[in-house]
Amino acid sequence: MTSNEDLSSRDLSSRLSDTLAQLDTLRSRHSDTLAQLDGLRTLHEVSKAVHASLDLRATMDAVVHGVTRASGFEVAVVNVRQPDGDFAVVSVDGTEEMRRSLLGTTTTPENWDELFGKAEPWGSLYFVDHKNDMPDAMITWTSDSLPLPADPDGWHPEDMLFAPLTSPTGELTGILSVDLPRDGRRPGPVQREMLELFAQHASMAVHHARLHHELAESRTRLHHAATHDPLTGLANRTLLRAFTDELAGRSDDEVGVMVIDLDDFKMINDLGGHDAGDEVLRTVASRMAALVRPADLLARTGGDEFVIVATGEGVDRLLRDTAERIHRALTEPIETRSGPCKVGASIGHACGACCTDFAQLASAADADMYRTKQRHRAKRPWVA
């Protein structure tokens, strides 16, 4: 072979090597592009889950599953701040053993503050090197299968990476943590950005769930206020009406109505003031509520007037027994700021089928109560 041929061969070999290197670079870039595209698809799925569901745990499960699919980590964990201020693990994507050991565990805000203080900021992420000591009370999980790294960019089994979840006002509402990178290395810029995007969606999910919870609580409070007496906490006329309307649809039950009117209650208000009267009403309501079955209804329908609606077989006997127990319960003096008070009650009742017009039964019970009150005024013994 001539020297020219030898040079030509070496030149061809060099060009071929360069071409192969370029192809490897293109394959790597193509692979990275496909991975990023798959990550964006996963992020889009998580975004839809966040907006479609107000169930926090279901949404967090979607987030951690998306993180392990798209970020290159095998483990993802979400802690969410609880009403008492502590953080609880609500979702884990990893092995079943890990789920059992971490789900439901709690960590104090002080533990997280200590950990944030030791961490190295990576954008909005925080990296804690294994050389730092963990807070004593913090529950952590460490892989026993991940080998120790041979180079500085390798992932140590005790390294930690987490993203704070924050509300629109900047309040810390949770933490997204990841572990066990599939390539055994600390994440690069693309992985970090993907984690930041998932953390933003997790923050949004927590915020949505909080708003939903607050809205549900507000509705519950408004409904309770609309259907209950603010002084005694008993049902009011609105709830009584709804309860009896529902009973009217039954045909095979008996229903009994009891009307209770406190005796000489005006004297308590006149002598002790309205504060004493309010305290008496609250105590009387509490004592009577303890005597009523859970399925029956006790309502305050006027200043010192109460109604009990009971259903079932033998309701007439039940109401007579309840009346006797109410009288015994009211023999105990009631302590008020102006001193002890004693109050009695005039009680009447009427019974019929559930399909009976409630207004008729209530009117009959009311009339029975007034007859009893007249006997009391005449100092005659009470008869149910």
pLDDT tens-digit profile of 130-171? 888 777 666 666 666 667 877 888 988 888 899 999 999 999
CATH class of 27-143+150-212: alpha beta
Whether residue 235 contacts residue 298, with contact meaning beta carbons closer than 8 Å, is answered with yes
What is the gyration radius of the CA atoms in the chain, in angstroms? 36
For residue 345, give both structure tokens. Answer: 């009650």
290 CB burial (10 A radius; 0-12, 13-18, 19+): exposed
What DSSP designation does 146 have? S
**pTM for the whole thing?**
0.61
Which among 358, 363, 348, 359 is positioned nearest to 261, based on CA atoms?
A: 348
pLDDT tens-digit profile of 22-48? 655 555 454 444 444 555 565 556 565
Residues in the chain where the model's pLDDT stays below 50 = 28, 30-36, 380-384
The segment(s) of the chain belonging to CATH 3.30.450.40 are 27-143+150-212
Q: Which amino acid does the sequence have at 60? A: M
Task: Annotate 95-104 with b (16+ C-beta within 10 A) or e (fewer).
Answer: eeebeebbee
Which among 368, 327, 319 is positioned nearest to 345, based on CA atoms?
A: 327
The residue written with tokens 């309205």 in the block is 274
Whether residue 299 contacts residue 306, with contact meaning beta carbons closer than 8 Å, is answered with yes
pLDDT tens-digit profile of 214-242? 888 899 999 999 999 999 999 999 999 99
The segment(s) of the chain belonging to CATH 3.30.70.270 are 237-377
Bridge partners (DSSP) of residue 125 are 122
For residue 163, the Cα-to-chain-centroid distance in whole angstroms is 23
Specify the CATH architecture of the domain 237-377.
Answer: 2-Layer Sandwich (3.30)
- Main-chain phi, psi angles of 212, to 5 degrees: -65, -45
- Output the pLDDT for position 76: 92
